[in-house]
Structure 1
Amino acid sequence: IKMRRNPPMDNELPEDFWIPVPLDTNNITSLSPFLVPQDHLGSSATFYAMAVFMFFIFVVGTFINILTIACTIQYKKLRSHLNYILVNLAVSNLLVSCVGSSTAFCSFSARYFILGPLACKIEGFMVTLGGMVSLWSLAVIAFERWLVICKPLGNFVFKPDHAIACCVFTWVFALIASAPPLFGWSRYIPEGLQCSCGPDWYTTNNKYNNESYVMFLFGFCFAVPLATIIFCYGQLLITMKMAAKAQAESASTQKAEKEVTRMVIIMVMGFLVCWLPYTTFALWIVFNRGQSFDLRMATIPSCFSKSSAVYNPIIYVVFNKQFRSCMMQMLGMGSSEEETSSSTTSVTEVSKVGPA
């Protein structure tokens, strides 16, 4: 797809969208992603394949996150301080899957953003809000594990009230990050293949100060949470290795150390898979103004971020043996209390330092 290398001037930009203009077209409005199929950006097969993928994320993400919330309501034993944060993560994932994936499914099926500019702004805001809550929840989980396992504050006890305060914290920070485009600092427009919406990474429009908003998101909503996760899990690994070294003769301690190491790697990789492509793409756009790029490739980071609604609960909830046991019981596939008790006993040391 040949695209104009130099983006339009500020006074040429439509208010509700931006797309690179094919060399043989001078009328941007005639290609509006709210009015006509975007077949000039990709084949029908590409759009329909993305529609199938978004439908999968919608169905599976919605199911597993609703199941997480329902299990917490049903089983009192799940109402621990850490599980409050996991439920908060499930709520944010549910927002992304219900609003973002369902809207993207409809739009990819139609091959353009059929719901219109207002729905685009709503979807962009809701998905960004849910994504930011999810992101900060991952950082809070890491922080909680550090406080509980490494005990930097001595005998400080992390209580349910603290967990609730942390959940409120994630929503406040998410609002700080996602609300500005609604009030003129950047804007929400169709992105990638123009079938889902997000912040405007693409233009240098001085009216919206898009570049400063991108840098704000990078520092406030990626670098800080990532640094928190790496520091907290790094300290946790050091603590576990010291415990394993001190109890070298204990097979259970050695097993716990290996399992926690594996789990930490999975959690950090999950975070990076979710957010690194999106952040890298946004920064590349900012620092490479005027460079041509394929919007089909630009869709991939958005898909990775939405798919977190599926793999985040798999990592943080399904791998949680207590949650998994309750989910299986709710679905009529649960094991006996004796098996559950045996499983809990066998992973006691891991559960103290893992996400469960």
Structure 2
Amino acid sequence: MRANRAMELPEDFWIPISLDTDNITSFSPFLVPQDHLGGTGIFYGLAGFMFFLFVAGTSINVLTIACTVQYKKLRSHLNYILVNLAVANLLVSSVGSFTAFCSFFSRYFIFGPLACKIEGFLATLGGMVSLWSLAVIAFERWLVICKPLGNFAFKPDHAIACCVFTWVFALIASVPPLVGWSRYIPEGLQCSCGPDWYTTDNKFNNESYVLFLFCFCFAVPFATIVFCYAQLLITLKMAAKAQADSVSTQKAEREVTRMVVVMVLGFLVCWMPYASFALWTVNNRGQPFDLRLATIPSCLSKASTVYNPVIYVLLNKQFRSCMMKMLGMGGGDEEESSSQSVTEVSKVGPA
């Protein structure tokens, strides 16, 4: 009977093989609450978490964009990339987190199959832009501070080109499930949508798509981030060693070292579980797993919409000062951001 069921599985969703039933639609995540997958408390708890991500992620990213529009001094080439990151985060929080909140609260994906595809596509698009924006930020800091190209100047035109690159590559990564290479279906507790990590149907070639995402949308950006920040730390340590008596230089090195550690750890916390889970399912087809645990990677990836601006924007003293001023909380002209201080430090370091 299970073999016959497998042939009748719909293209809009997937259910565990352990749910042995002749009426598949009775478990449809678009029609009925998914109480067979988890307790009501789990659904409501995740709904609360998604609501927090929606409110916090939307607010802080809108504020980032508004501050950049209002204050001319924030319109530097690096901040162009930060705004690009904020736009991507806003897309995920306003669409992905909000949709997940409504669905977790209802305990099933209430918006239907078409909305699932749209939500999965937009959330994946925003996530890919975010990932590549983080890599571009690391690359830009490596170019400016470590000077591997000598006196090459990273100009606004270069920053805009990098932003365009993130969206083009994100489209290359997120469009395929809409045209037959994999598909967007409800994931985890069936209340948010993403690429199909679960099935082995040759019709969709899911395995090759998962490997593509892992290699070019996780491994490559992560390797870029690690390489660039490792080179940055080496340059700073050399500069600090050359100016051992300079208190400001030593302080800048410590600040940037902490920032780099937080950036890399934040990236891993938000994206490593998702990438690892997808890779595990590809290499362990048929192995049972708890869909409650499978929901965690998706939730953590959406949490990047909050941690990204906290690390890259709120820890930037210039951005933080403008935000406080915009909100009427004071905040004058504070000292320049740590990244700008690091640039000054690197100028006196070894070439």
Q: State the TM-score, normalized to the length of structure 1.
A: 0.94
* Match of residue 158 from structure 1: 154
1:307 to 303, 308, 316: 303
Query: Residues 7, 309 of structure 1: CA spacing in aligned structure 2 closer, same or farther, 3 A cutoff?
Result: farther
Letter in 2 for 1:108: F
Answer yes or no: is the 8 Å Cα contact 1:10–1:205 preserved in 2.
no
1:284 to 277, 280, 293: 280
Alignment of 1:163-182 (within 5 A): 163-182=159-178
CA deviation vs aligned residue, 1:79-132 (integer Å, no higher than 9, x gap):
000000000000000000000001001101110001000000000000000000
Answer yes or no: is the 8 Å Cα contact 1:17–1:190 preserved in 2.
yes
Letter in 2 for 1:260: V
1:223 to 193, 203, 219: 219
Q: Quote the Cα distance in structure 2 between the aligned partners of 1:125 and 1:76.
A: 34
State the identity as a percent.
79
* Residue 36, structure 1, aligned to residue 28, structure 2: no
* Residue 144, structure 1, aligned to residue 140, structure 2: yes
Alignment of 1:82-97 (within 5 A): 82-97=78-93
Query: Residues 49, 228 of structure 1: CA spacing in aligned structure 2 closer, same or farther, 3 A cutoff?
Result: same
Between 1:63-72 and 1:42-51, the stretch displaced more is: 42-51
2:232 to 231, 236, 245: 236
CA deviation vs aligned residue, 1:254-297 (integer Å, no higher than 9, x gap):
11111111110011111111110000000110111111111000
Letter in 1 for 2:8: E
Post-superposition offset of 1:10: 5.7
1:81 to 67, 70, 77: 77
* Residue 259, structure 1, aligned to residue 251, structure 2: no
Answer yes or no: is the 8 Å Cα contact 1:34–1:112 preserved in 2.
yes
* Residue 66, structure 1, aligned to residue 62, structure 2: yes
* Match of residue 118 from structure 1: 114
Q: Quote the Cα distance in structure 2 between the aligned partners of 1:23 and 1:322.
A: 55
Q: Quote the Cα distance in structure 1 between the aligned partners of 2:224 and 2:307.
A: 20
Q: Quote the Cα distance in structure 1 between the aligned partners of 2:182 and 2:130.
A: 22
Post-superposition offset of 1:202: 0.1
Letter in 1 for 2:237: K
- Corresponding residue SS for 1:42: coil
* Residue 320, structure 1, aligned to residue 316, structure 2: yes
- Corresponding residue SS for 2:194: strand
Q: Quote the Cα distance in structure 2 between the aligned partners of 1:350 and 1:299.
A: 39
Post-superposition offset of 1:14: 1.1
Q: Quote the Cα distance in structure 2 between the aligned partners of 1:30 and 1:232.
A: 51
Post-superposition offset of 1:21: 3.8
1:106 to 88, 102, 109: 102
Q: State the TM-score, normalized to the length of structure 2.
A: 0.95
Q: Quote the Cα distance in structure 2 between the aligned partners of 1:218 and 1:201.
A: 12
- Corresponding residue SS for 1:344: coil
* Match of residue 349 from structure 2: none
Q: Quote the Cα distance in structure 2 between the aligned partners of 1:229 and 1:344.
A: 23
Answer yes or no: is the 8 Å Cα contact 1:107–1:196 preserved in 2.
yes
Root-mean-square deviation (CA, aligned residues, Å) is 1.9
* Residue 207, structure 1, aligned to residue 199, structure 2: no
Post-superposition offset of 1:22: 3.7
1:52 to 48, 51, 63: 48
* Residue 20, structure 1, aligned to residue 12, structure 2: no
* Match of residue 247 from structure 1: 243
- Corresponding residue SS for 2:299: helix
2:267 to 246, 266, 271: 271
* Residue 344, structure 1, aligned to residue 336, structure 2: yes
2:328 to 306, 321, 332: 332
Letter in 2 for 1:234: A
Corresponding residue pairs, total: 346
CA deviation vs aligned residue, 1:12-70 (integer Å, no higher than 9, x gap):
32110001044553432220000110000011111111111101100010000000000
Q: Quote the Cα distance in structure 1 between the aligned partners of 2:235 and 2:339.
A: 18
Answer yes or no: is the 8 Å Cα contact 2:108–2:190 preserved in 1.
yes
- Corresponding residue SS for 1:190: strand
Unaligned runs of 5+ in 1: 1-5
Answer yes or no: is the 8 Å Cα contact 1:259–1:350 preserved in 2.
no
Query: Residues 179, 196 of structure 1: CA spacing in aligned structure 2 closer, same or farther, 3 A cutoff?
Result: same
Q: Quote the Cα distance in structure 2 between the aligned partners of 1:216 and 1:61.
A: 28
